[in-house]
Amino acid sequence: MAIAKRELLSALIKSLDRSEKRFFTSHYQRRDKEEDDKYYRLFQFLSLGGDPAAPEIRAELGVNDAGQMANLQRHLYGLLLESLRRQHRRHDPVIQVQEELDYAHLLYDRGLYLEALVLLKRAKQQAKALHLDLHHILILEFEKMIESRHITRSVEGRMVALTEESRQRQTIQDMTTRLSNLQLTLQRYFIEQGHVSGLAEAQRFHQMFYHNFTGPFFGRSTFRERIGRYRALYWYHYCMMQLDEAAIHAHTWVEEFAKEEALRLRDVSLYLKGLDRCLTLAFFRDMQKEHQACFTRLVLFTDSLPGNRQSRNILRQNKLLHLRTRLNQLLLEDAPELTEKDSRGFHRAIEGLSGIDRHKKQVLWFKLGALLALTGRYSKALDRLEPILNDRQPLRYDVVIYAKILFLLCHFQLGNRELAGYGINNLARYLRRIDYPCQYPRLLVTMLRSLLRGVPPQETLTALKQEAVTLREEGSERRELRYFPLEKLEVIARSFTNR
């Protein structure tokens, strides 16, 4: 197996848990070949954190040139994957279906095509039950090949039935592929453009969506078709900032999984992604009870998952989801209570996150900083904003802008008026330079300048609220208002002092 970088081998070994290392060790220690001993010694060296490029491991293995070492690493990578497949095949039905297909090929190559058909029949039943459409198509094509080359007479009308079944599967796969392509197109649009702004852009976006969207017929649709439809509709309404409609499709997505227990356990990640969408929309719409209900559902589900390897991996990946949801739940409260212990716990949890991009971490730092500011701990809030403000290559401008605004509010509250005045001018220039499309940050800059001139806080907030009335009607501005909700801003502004 070709691997582009030796770091891939180290990353794979690092991801193994104790049971997987023990399984690999017990399996390959039973072999007496000298070459296998080299693989095992290399595995042990890398398991202890050794560098694959270290000269001492070459000397220990008796390897002289880089080519030999690369071959050892490549083969060890393949052995580890084979070991993982052997260990987890009993718990992973997808591996089982693929194995049945592989075994059928082996039987066919030996001329045992009737026996191969028996295995294919069993594999097809599993693939159909798990909605593994691609596997189902591969199995059908293999069955068609056998029937076309050998008159098996296994079942009367076999060829007609295979042709009809293949045609139906092709239609289903075509629909799921089109829906997944559309969903990726909508996600790419959101990443590059953000939410739709302006009537002309909304019309173009609407035409693009319905030109590519064809919903499945519900009487005959499969599980994957329905999930694909809900995901595409969710992204359409979310990009259009039609949050109530997006929430309907996100909840339907989750309920569709709730009705299929086996599929929910098979694709835990996609189910959790649906819950994540429900939580995000509840937060954006300021629905505290709905957010709490979804969070309770999330916790109950993740706590009930069996402790196999797949579940542990998913739980590790979704620490981010649990952490963000807890922070959002506090931000939704009218008077959030953040103890010092909780603050330290959030800090450690964010620092301990791995395998996610820095932007997602920065969002968490901002939320924690906002909570600290709301509870009057301005100096600590400034510390939490440092990872955002020190990033010289930000992935998204919105987090940076609102971190700068929170930074200025905290310094204003701490009495650092000169620093705040300098920062306000810098922020105004920054907004002009990047040509930020939304108006809400500019209104906040105006409010900060008014406070700096000595205008009473209540008067500045009243003016800001009047300006924000029209912004609430703009889809692209509604999301901005969640960074600094006027109600939360009023909590901080009430205690402004003119030091």
pLDDT tens track for 314-340: 766 678 899 999 999 999 988 888 899
The contacts of residue 182 (CB under 8 Å, 6+ apart) are 209, 212, 213, 232
Q: Tens digits of per-residue pLDDT, 111-138?
A: 888 888 889 999 999 888 888 888 999 9
> CB-based burial of residue 227 (10 Å sphere; 0-12 exposed, 13-18 middle, 19+ buried)?
buried
Q: Phi first, then psi: give them for residue 464, nearest 5 degrees.
A: -65, -40
Q: CA dist 134 to 30, 105, 140, Å?
A: 37, 17, 10
Confidence of residue 55 (pLDDT cuts 50, 70, 90): confident
- pLDDT, mean over the chain: 84
Task: List, for residues 243-300, the tens digit of each pLDDT value.
Answer: 999 999 999 999 999 988 888 888 888 999 999 999 999 998 889 999 999 999 999 9
- For residue 498, what pLDDT is reported? 44
pLDDT above 70 coverage of the chain, percent: 90
pLDDT tens by residue, 182-223:
999 999 888 888 888 778 888 999 999 988 887 656 567 888
pLDDT at 233: 94
DSSP 8-state class, residue 376: T
